[in-house]
A and B are shown apart, each in its own frame.
Chain A
């Protein structure tokens, strides 16, 4: 019974979303306050209905109600409770419901915290959010209903795909969706601005916190997914340039660009049209990602089911929203007035360079991801575009940006001084060079080109603090006054420095792990040992073990350094009983920022075991840097000026002036 109520709540949600899609827009057009007031209330009701529906599905998973087809297909009564929860989004239908839940959650947030928005803008934004909600509600109810029943109810479920039974996966989709779907708010703001034909610095101030929040969550989600692939798939790689990974990476790149261009628009009222376009593109890439992952055109862990009607349905949603938004843009954008002018060498100029590089890099990733699909559709020829392509194009194109990052914050707005910036930064560059060379020396060398990468990483890390250093001006005013000055700075300055530092850490991790990492594949018999990364691993045979819903053979390795045993690693081959599916559980041992990674292969007839061992120095910097970027995002988000709902002093007068000008 409760399942049917959950289903019914979703139908009611569709009705609500339909009303919400139409009335507030008409209200905003006619200046009817009552119709516009419908938007916030309706958004909250919509959220309540979808949340209830999601709760019902979760409940069905927790109590293992196998009369629900979706639960039967993806759960098992013996599965640990945490995976019963995460199983809700470990399948197509449930993950689409999660997508929708987060979408209406963001609408509800805009409704709650957007009290100081002009009435018409808020009504339009919430209506555009409701259009997206309507499309996805139709999609769920017509093609991916999670509430379908089975009669008679089976006694036991088919279990969740074993590679998805993992803590990393339990949190990866919600984080990723918070990012993906968070950009819908920017999209809605952009479309609403186009509908109204008016845009100003206040608009950018409202949009920036949402962009920042979405970007922060997307950063976390991508890092989590990458770490999950690293330890769960047992291949030792952390990024495969798989189309599914690219699908989440492209909105991140575009979102990063949006974050920076919104800054220019907020501070200087320049790049208006470009920012609106970027907001539309970012969410379009999120939708494209959803299409690529959910439609079954790509095969991966993410494509749970391949039902062609679903693919066509999402493609239609994609076409309507992207096409519609771009058409609206083409029609209305000329009405938006261009803003302030600036010299090429200036903070704005640096941010334009950031935008140029990021969007071009996004375009290359998009090309590499879609080209095989398009070629196959047109000619039937099948090709694969892999890591070499992306390293050559994306990797090279991003290098100038990494060099330029520390320059941005030290350049003045409007008209900057490159020579002055160089004078300010050469000490930092020297430090980075020294650090890179020292690092290279300690690691006993490698390809000389690696020095460049290491220096680049340190340059990003050290250079990130140049702005803070000169703002505090420790050299002139001494420590105590300098610290006081720092305390007086807005938090967003620290957010910028922390996020840029995190980028440097990630870059350093990528170069260090790829240059100094070693790997070996050996056949090991009991008692045999292998030396790698300064450690010695001794194989101590296989043991049988039993988990809640799997059986496994665990290989034990004793790790020693200089003849003294320092640790143990277990690496195992699991067989999940319900699906008869084997998985490899890598044994990972962390030493500081480096890791030893042991993966079991096949047993040999001679009684030995094929073992693949990696030494991955400083690999944790890759995700650690992403974590630091995330912290930077949150610090920036806590800035008083950006706090959602804080009164914006400048907003009203600016707009009044613009209206007068029109």
Chain B
């Protein structure tokens, strides 16, 4: 091979690596990206059972029920709609009734309930999960100052332990 051909081969090698990376990124986006929904959206959107989504909203007051083992069921609501959710595992420390939550999982084909495999609550008491806060504010169900008032009921939530 001449020097020119060698150089071309190197450039072609580099370009094909980049091409592979781009294809991989596009493939991964089509496979593993979870869209965010709130209960009200689900009425409009057609989410097939088994599709991974993120479901966010407020944990409805009085909806948290613990069955045997570590399975917990609760309802996620946004004032308009509500979705029953089951989750097996340990809930985050700041998971409370009446507070914001984001769950990730898929709808179950048989029970039509939402089965979550991860539940995210807030890192501290000062904020709601951002996606949830944006939407609830837009709908007027919740506003920024309310986080602090929520603390009273939050303490009650932790007291049930």
Quick check: is A115 within 8 A (CB to CB) of the other chain? no
Chain A hits for B66, CB < 8 A: 602, 604-605
Chain B hits for A306, CB < 8 A: 127
Known: A300-B123, A580-B151. A388 touches B28 (CB 8 A): yes
Q: Check if A382 sits within 8 Å of B123, measured CB to CB.
A: no
Within the complex, what minimum Cβ distance (angstroms) separates B46 from chain A? Answer: 16
Known: A344-B6, A612-B89. A581 touches B34 (CB 8 A): no
Within the complex, what minimum Cβ distance (angstroms) separates B29 from chain A? Answer: 7
Name the residue on B nearest A236 (C-beta): B90
Give the interface segment out of A355-363, A446-454, A480-488, A562-570: A355-363
Quick check: is A371 within 8 A (CB to CB) of the other chain? yes
Chain B hits for A397, CB < 8 A: 20-21, 24
Interface residues in B, total, Cβ within 8 A? 45
Quick check: is B44 within 8 A (CB to CB) of the other chain? no
Quick check: is B79 within 8 A (CB to CB) of the other chain? no
Within the complex, what minimum Cβ distance (angstroms) separates A90 from chain B? Answer: 12
Expressed in whole angstroms, the Cα–Cα distance for A161 and B25 within the complex equals 37
Expressed in whole angstroms, the Cα–Cα distance for A12 and B69 within the complex equals 63
Known: A584-B93, A601-B90, A605-B66. A579 touches B125 (CB 8 A): yes
Chain A hits for B27, CB < 8 A: 392
Q: Check if B17 sits within 8 Å of A357, measured CB to CB.
A: yes
Quick check: is B104 within 8 A (CB to CB) of the other chain? yes
Q: Check if B70 sits within 8 Å of A383, measured CB to CB.
A: no
Expressed in whole angstroms, the Cα–Cα distance for A158 and B72 within the complex equals 33
Known: A344-B10, A360-B21, A575-B158. A601 touches B91 (CB 8 A): yes
Quick check: is A603 within 8 A (CB to CB) of the other chain? yes
Quick check: is B130 within 8 A (CB to CB) of the other chain? yes
Task: Give the residues from 1 to 41 in chain B that come closer than 8 angstroms, CB to CB, to chain A.
Answer: 6, 9-10, 14, 17-18, 20-21, 24-25, 27-29, 31-36
Task: Give the residues from 339 to 361 in chain A that come closer than 8 angstroms, CB to CB, to chain B.
Answer: 343-344, 349, 356-357, 360-361
Other-chain contact of B33, A383, A521, A523 (Cβ < 8 Å)? A383
Quick check: is A197 within 8 A (CB to CB) of the other chain? no
Quick check: is A479 within 8 A (CB to CB) of the other chain? no
Within the complex, what minimum Cβ distance (angstroms) separates B156 from chain A? Answer: 11
Chain B hits for A575, CB < 8 A: 158
Q: Which of A299, A357, A604 has the most CB of B within 10 A?
A: A299
Within the complex, what minimum Cβ distance (angstroms) separates A428 from chain B? Answer: 25
Known: A599-B90, A602-B161, A605-B66. A384 touches B36 (CB 8 A): yes
Expressed in whole angstroms, the Cα–Cα distance for A612 and B69 within the complex equals 12
Q: Check if B36 sits within 8 Å of A382, measured CB to CB.
A: yes
Chain A hits for B104, CB < 8 A: 384, 386
Expressed in whole angstroms, the Cα–Cα distance for A364 and B24 within the complex equals 9
Quick check: is A378 within 8 A (CB to CB) of the other chain? no
Other-chain contact of B90, A300, A388, A612 (Cβ < 8 Å)? A612
Interface residues in A, total, Cβ within 8 A? 53
Quick check: is B155 within 8 A (CB to CB) of the other chain? yes
Q: Which of B14, B90, B154 has the most CB of A within 10 A?
A: B90
Quick check: is A81 within 8 A (CB to CB) of the other chain? no
Known: A389-B29, A393-B24. A523 touches B68 (CB 8 A): yes
Contact with A along B144-160 (1 / 0, CB 8 A): 00000001001100101
Quick check: is A301 within 8 A (CB to CB) of the other chain? yes
Within the complex, what minimum Cβ distance (angstroms) separates A443 from chain B? Answer: 26
Name the residue on A nearest B27 (C-beta): A392
Known: A383-B36, A602-B90, A602-B91. A356 touches B14 (CB 8 A): yes
Quick check: is A163 within 8 A (CB to CB) of the other chain? yes
Chain B hits for A344, CB < 8 A: 6, 9-10
Quick check: is A528 within 8 A (CB to CB) of the other chain? no
Chain B hits for A582, CB < 8 A: 93-94, 158
Within the complex, what minimum Cβ distance (angstroms) separates B137 from chain A? Answer: 13
Q: Check if B33 sits within 8 Å of A360, measured CB to CB.
A: no
Quick check: is B82 within 8 A (CB to CB) of the other chain? no
Chain A hits for B93, CB < 8 A: 234, 573, 581-584
Known: A382-B131, A610-B70. A388 touches B21 (CB 8 A): no
Q: Check if A393 sits within 8 Å of B28, measured CB to CB.
A: yes
Contact with B along A518-556 (1 / 0, CB 8 A): 000111000000000000000000000000000001000
Chain B hits for A522, CB < 8 A: 69-70
Q: Check if A603 sits within 8 Å of B161, measured CB to CB.
A: yes
Chain A hits for B10, CB < 8 A: 344, 349
Chain A hits for B34, CB < 8 A: 383-384, 386
**Given A364-B21, A397-B24, A602-B72, 18 new contacts (CB under 8 A):** A163-B123, A299-B129, A360-B18, A367-B25, A371-B29, A384-B54, A388-B28, A388-B32, A389-B28, A389-B32, A393-B28, A573-B93, A580-B154, A581-B125, A600-B90, A601-B91, A602-B90, A612-B70
Binding site for A on B (CB under 8 A): 6, 9-10, 14, 17-18, 20-21, 24-25, 27-29, 31-36, 54, 66, 68-70, 72, 88-91, 93-94, 104, 123-125, 127, 129-131, 151, 154-155, 158, 160-161
Supply 20 A–B pairs (Cβ within 8 Å), ascending by A. A299-B127, A356-B18, A360-B18, A363-B21, A364-B21, A392-B27, A392-B32, A393-B24, A393-B28, A523-B69, A580-B125, A580-B151, A580-B154, A581-B94, A582-B94, A584-B93, A601-B91, A602-B66, A602-B91, A605-B66
